[in-house]
Amino acid sequence: MAHTPPNIVLIMCDQMRWDAAGFAGSSIVQTPHLDQLAEGGVCFENAYCASPVCSPARASWLTGLYPHAHLQLRNYSPRRSREFGGYLPQHHITIGDVLKRVGYRCGMLGPWHLGEDHRPQHGFTDFWRTYRYLGPSYTDPLFDYFEQEGVSNLYRSKAEGMTLYGNTLEFGAITDPRQQRTTWTIDGAIEFIQQQHDAPFFLFASIKDPHPLMLVPPEFLDLYPENEIPLSPSLRDPLDGKPEFQKRGKFRILPTVTDEQFRQIMVHYYALITHIDNQVGRLINMLKAQNQHNNTIIAFISDHGELLGDHGYVEKCLMYEASVRVPCLLSWPDHLPAELRVKTPLAGVDLMPTLLDLAGQSLPEPIDGRSVATSILNTEEPATQPIFAEIASLDAIYHGAKEEDRLAAHVMNYDGRWKYIRNRFDIDELYDLKTDPTEMNNLTHQPENQNRIRLMRGQIADMLCQTGPGPYEWCL
């Protein structure tokens, strides 16, 4: 599709809510640089991850495959480096593999979180600077940086000055700008881009924030007075009529956490997003200074969302909107239309083929995702199709269950109004987001919805058969 190969910058946050930004309609969260990015390009108003947990979602964004096909079924850690479902098998083709083969210079900054994180892989052999998830045999570049700079490492366990209310999101404030990991990641991204080279580049900037530990520059905290922060209307959701497993989840907020304490958490979460915005602006300004901006596709997304009090939870791993819905922006000056708002839902497997299509590259086959490049270039809504997400059980994600059936426990099907969740070990869920946008009422028991449920179950089966059901054969 492109004549001169464009540069591509993929910025992926970790755990940013879809609605925590000015461009998403928030009157509270200040994101001026991201708002400008949205104004100059395409905003997918209804983008969804393929799994509301880090590693499976990241694998899907990069491969265009749902978890049942790429088999990264839960978060990677060095201790499960060769366990089934615990890493991304090397034979899968990522966007980095494709672009490297056609001559791109590929760089990766920040957490990889897909297996063997110490080793350059999947095309990212020109620049590889990861941190975390490296294992005890390897030093962590971020922690090394703190030591070299002589600043306190506040990301270490039980660091001084941190606050944790119950089982919620741990937070604190930095005293030196060098203590902040997003700043460190963008520093490396700028270093990569400034390396002179004739080849086009692909930069994957993996930003760990606003995932806890939430460490915030204090000047951004002043933007968010606690008494002006509204709590989620479903913060004290009793979960009546919902699956039983939701009532005992690891991150169900304890009743001892007060509203005032939770507002403090929200202040730090929102302030950290403003810091991310500030750093994204620094990266964009550098592209402009290098005369690279007009020939660079910038994609901004989050791997998954953050519940932030919705339904009495923090973190993710449930199929509620705040957990599965994500921000998603695309910008390419003079190529993509400006101020385009796409309402058709975008799947967590669609970005990879869309970026490759925009860059004029062939798509690997088979994949689950589709390109929407032609539609957005023509300022048209893509054709509507069901959106899916898959995830392991909470026992597998948080408590180490290794049984294969526990690694493939939940599937969501969303059609733009109705959301159906098939739960392997509990009752199913059905929500009408038009009449119940906060997902308070599970409608699976109503007789008038049984035909809809059968239809949406059939759509799940059809999706799984496209690339083979793998461990989700129980849905057929």
pLDDT (tens digit per residue) in 337-390: 999 999 999 999 999 999 999 999 999 888 999 999 999 999 999 999 999 999
As a whole number, mean pLDDT of residues 239-261 equals 96
Task: Decide: residue 192, CB within 10 A, 0-12 exposed, 13-18 middle, 19+ buried.
Answer: buried
How far apart are alpha carbons 71 and 92 in whole angstroms? Answer: 10
How far apart are alpha carbons 281 and 274 in whole angstroms? Answer: 10
How far apart are alpha carbons 360 and 351 in whole angstroms? Answer: 14
- The pLDDT score that the predictor gives to residue 2 is 58
| Percentage of the residues of the chain whose pLDDT score is greater than 70 | 99
How far apart are alpha carbons 276 and 345 in whole angstroms? Answer: 25
Is 82 a residue whose pLDDT tops 90? no
Q: How confident is the model at residue 145 (pLDDT cuts 50, 70, 90)?
A: very high
pLDDT digits (tens, 9 = 90+) for 292-346: 999 999 999 999 999 999 999 999 999 999 999 999 999 999 999 999 999 999 9
Q: Around Cβ 277, how many Cβ atoms within 10 Å?
A: 23
3-state secondary structure of 458: helix
Q: How confident is the model at residue 80 (pLDDT cuts 50, 70, 90)?
A: confident
pLDDT digits (tens, 9 = 90+) for 181-235: 999 999 999 999 999 789 999 999 999 999 999 999 999 999 999 999 999 999 9
Q: How confident is the model at residue 419 (pLDDT cuts 50, 70, 90)?
A: very high
Q: How confident is the model at residue 288 (pLDDT cuts 50, 70, 90)?
A: very high
As a whole number, mean pLDDT of residues 24-51 equals 98
pLDDT digits (tens, 9 = 90+) for 380-415: 999 999 999 999 999 999 988 889 999 999 999 999
Is 4 a residue whose pLDDT tops 90? no
